[in-house]
Chains A and B, each alone.
Chain A
Amino acid sequence: MMTLVKCIVPLLLFTLLSVLACSAQESPYFVTYDHHMEEPGNLEIEVSSTTDVPRSGQKFYFAPWTELEYGVTARWTSELYLEGQSTWGDSTIFTGWRLENRFRPLKREHWINPVLYLEYENLNEASRIQKEIEGEAPDVSSPNSVLRAEKDRELESKLILSSDTHDWNLAGNFIVAKNFSQSEGVEFGYSFGFSRPLATLASGSNCRFCRENFSAGMEIYGGLGSTLGFGFNDTAQYAAPVFAWLISDNATLRFSPGVGLTHASSPVLFRFGYSYEIPSIGSKLSHLLGGKR
């Protein structure tokens, strides 16, 4: 418990200081979802990765994923994930795909804004992206040849609660997942995040290093066991500062160094992400194919 406090307190202080010292518009979170949906008709292409610093006896891995996020309507966003991983001294494999949908039931902004999330995952147990963490900690010691043979077909739902208050975003996600391939019961997880842009007034110039283009925050996420054993036992828990930089009007760069808080967690998780938004993809494609714009 003391170790946990020793890790969290400096991280919180560091994040708060960097946030107060300065405040972007794209969410800096990697794991936590807020209530902001993709704008209707826009397609966001994101390339991200998760890398960890392994414990002794474990191997270093690099797990990239590609995310295609499309705004179906102003209240419905759909996403497709393709993911893989490469383990040092082992192999590089494709670990599967995910299809998720987020639906915002309320029309207007409220103090707390709920979003309903439903995802189907067709993965194998070698998946390492750790986009969300539920149940017990993943097996990062077994070889890929063994793990890729174990299917992980899962239906996952989340209740996303998010609030924008005084330029801060506060968000909490509650996860319930059912793996249809294995008898793991129903698994639970959570994530919380807060973030803020480093400046709240836009300058008139087209600067890329202005504070208004940066945002920072913090995420805390982890598993909560399953119906077979609820609680923190053998679960992975992380605290991770998050940073985002709006490098152009359409592109955002994100970074998050996460610290493992339990023995079952990786000591450090590094996440990098680059996203590019294509506005009105439908009319652009139609224009390319010779239609009217």
Chain B
Amino acid sequence: MSRGLILMAICIFALASMMRGQNAFYWPDPTWRAPESAVAKPNPLAQKTWAAAGGKKLFLRNCAECHDRDGNGLVKKHSADLQLPVVQQQSDGTLFWKISNGNTGRGMPSFSKLPELERWQLVLFLRTLKPPADSHAGP
């Protein structure tokens, strides 16, 4: 009995740690997939890490309203937690494609109105989003 309680407590603690700072209501859309040609696209600004500062400015202007200032999503908006590994494990090309095309069925608008390099700057900034040090992010 006591072993079961300890196990349950560990599970609850682990789950709570995973969810800390994240939008627990975010549910990735499995149908929102970038085509192969887009997945493989490299970020032309990958070596220009200084450009992430511009990406942050663009993120705060265009994305923070739904994804929150630190990218962990807003429950009310059902927006993606951009710190999650399920997002961070995607290629630069995939993130670029998703920013460019949006997922209009789920409320994510297309940001193709931004110049191409600015969208790559956003990708660069997304890579700097990390969950708080004491949390263990999981999908």
Contact = CB atoms under 8 A, between A and B. Distances in A.
Interface residues of B, number: 31
B113 A202 contact: no
B85 to A, nearest CB: 26
B61 A279 contact: no
Contacts of B102: 74, 108-109
A107 B103 CA distance: 7
A201 B117 contact: yes
Interface string A86-111: 00000000000000000010011100
Interface string B49-87: 011011111101110010000000000100000000000
Size category, A interface = 20 to 34
Contacts of A39: 65, 109
B51 A201 contact: yes
Interface string A236-255: 00000000000001000000
A34 B110 CA distance: 13
Interface in A151-165: 164
B116 A167 contact: yes
A109 B104 contact: no
Contacts of A258: none
A283 interface: yes
Contacts of A166: 116
Given A201-B118, A204-B57, A40 B101 contact: no
A289 to B, nearest CB: 16
Interface in B102-135: 102-105, 107-110, 112-118, 121
Q: Is the interface of A mostly helix, strand, loop or mixed?
A: loop
A267 to B, nearest CB: 33
A201 B113 contact: no
A241 B60 CA distance: 30
Contacts of A199: 115
Given A201-B54, A202-B118, A40 B112 contact: no
A249 B104 contact: no
Contacts of B17: none
B108 A74 contact: yes
Contacts of B118: 200-202, 212
Nearest to A207: B57
A23 B55 CA distance: 17
Interface of B: 50-51, 53-58, 60-62, 65, 76, 100-105, 107-110, 112-118, 121
19 contacts: A25-B62, A25-B113, A25-B114, A37-B109, A40-B109, A75-B104, A107-B105, A108-B110, A109-B110, A164-B112, A167-B115, A197-B115, A201-B54, A201-B121, A202-B57, A203-B53, A203-B54, A279-B65, A293-B76
